Amino acid sequence: MKYDICALGNALVDTQYMVEHDFLKEIGLEPDSMTLASAEEHKPIIDKLEKMGVASVSDCGGSATNSLVAASNYGSICHHVCRVANDNDGKKYLDSLKVAGVKHIGFTKEDSDMPTGKCLILVTPDAKRTMSSMLGISAFLGPKDIDYDAVKNSKIFYIEGYMVTSDENYSAVTSVLQNINNSKTLKALSLSDAGIVHGFRDKFKEIESYGIDMIFCNDDEAVAFSETSNLVEAIEFYKKQSYMIAITKGSEGSIIIKDGKELSSPAITINPVDTNGAGDMFAGSFMHAYLNDHDISECAEFSNYASSKVVETFGPRLTPNGYAEVLNKLKKS
């Protein structure tokens, strides 16, 4: 296979701010959630933050992107199916992928007035992140933007759950799934957000019907997708499914369920700064370890460790030296 992981996800330029809970109430955002917004809705929030003098950190993000950047830094060969505009943010985004060693299709061939997508990430003192995303041109990524040869020649095709929120994005997802349905490519899905799972359940169930091999989620998303009342019931549900599922539980570590068996992996004790990107880091780390023939216990332990390192950092990624330090943990396991 040409690639280890090929992912389909939103290309968003992230800007992170540290704020108090009262600020979220003031602007009407639900803590620890993701909402879609327009550029017009973003402007008053940004103006207010700038007037308050709140410091920010800006980088090229997107959930699937963060996972690919992690895996690529470990040595996996990755390809990203995404769409950016031919503007300064778009150029910055593609440059960021290039530096990380992630391959991509480049600018869309179609002209558009839509800008590259942006995401405001508001981090509260409890290290939780609340996101407001303006998808921009990313919402119009469709089947025509896909390099099907790259997908077919990948060991894992990874779907960012947020892709269900746009009809064009969702069309791209199902187009790829139909294209690789009889191939050896493993199909992986991130559930992304419990609210998204509740709001777009039919689309998630259709994706599942194509024969998903692995799912990544947190405990709230696991309960939402299983349509159960609590995590205990959800775990019993997943023991009966054919796919493997990795459920992250924050400070309580993670649970992996495969072939009817449950494996619990403890968390690393840390002082949390920012949980943004923790799930992305877990998924990217797990897929890399899995493709390098580590057993499930080693994959979970490595991914917990990797996630703990990003939670100790303000921002969803590590430095190249940080990824190298994390990789040493896997090499010693």
Given a contact cutoff of 8 angstroms between Cβ atoms, the answer to whether 101 and 252 are in contact is: no
Reduce the DSSP state of residue 64 to 3 states and report it: helix
What pLDDT is recorded for position 24?
96
pTM, to two decimals? 0.92
Distance of alpha carbon 105 from alpha carbon 127, whole angstroms: 35
Q: Any residues with CB less than 8 A from the CB of 197 and at least 6 apart, and which?
A: 161, 191, 204, 221, 224, 225
pLDDT interval class at 106 (50, 70, 90): low
Given a contact cutoff of 8 angstroms between Cβ atoms, the answer to whether 38 and 3 are in contact is: no
What pLDDT is recorded for position 9?
96
Token pair for 214: 């692995």
**Average pLDDT of span 82-104:** 92
Residue 332 pLDDT exceeds 80: no
What pLDDT is recorded for position 108?
62
What pLDDT is recorded for position 111?
58
Q: Domains for the chain: give ranges and CATH numbers.
A: 3-10+62-112+136-332 (3.40.1190.20)
DSSP track, 238-298: HTTSSSEEEEE-GGG-EEEEETTEEEEEPPPP---S--TTHHHHHHHHHHHHHHTT--HHH
What pLDDT is recorded for position 248?
98
Given a contact cutoff of 8 angstroms between Cβ atoms, the answer to whether 197 and 161 are in contact is: yes
Query: What are the two backbone dihedrals, phi and then psi, of residue 260, each rounded to the nearest 5 degrees?
Result: 80, 0
Residue with tokens 């933007």: 145
What's the Cα-to-Cα distance from 248 to each of 85, 180, 219, 233, 299, rounded to whole Å? 34, 28, 6, 16, 13
Strands ordered across the beta sheet of 3-8: 103-104, 78-81, 3-8, 154-159, 186-190, 214-218, 244-248, 254-258, 261-265
Widest Cα–Cα separation across the chain: 55
Distance of alpha carbon 150 from alpha carbon 146, whole angstroms: 8
∠ CA(170), CA(167), CA(217), 5° rounding? 45
pLDDT tens-digit profile of 140-151?
999 999 999 999
Residue 242 pLDDT exceeds 80: yes
pLDDT tens-digit profile of 251-270?
999 999 999 999 999 999 99
Of 67, 63, 58, 3, residue with least CA distance to 323:
67
How many CB atoms are located within 10 Å of the residue 139 CB?
20
What pLDDT is recorded for position 110?
63
Distance of alpha carbon 124 from alpha carbon 288, whole angstroms: 31
pLDDT tens-digit profile of 20-69?
999 999 999 999 999 999 989 999 999 999 999 998 888 888 999 999 99
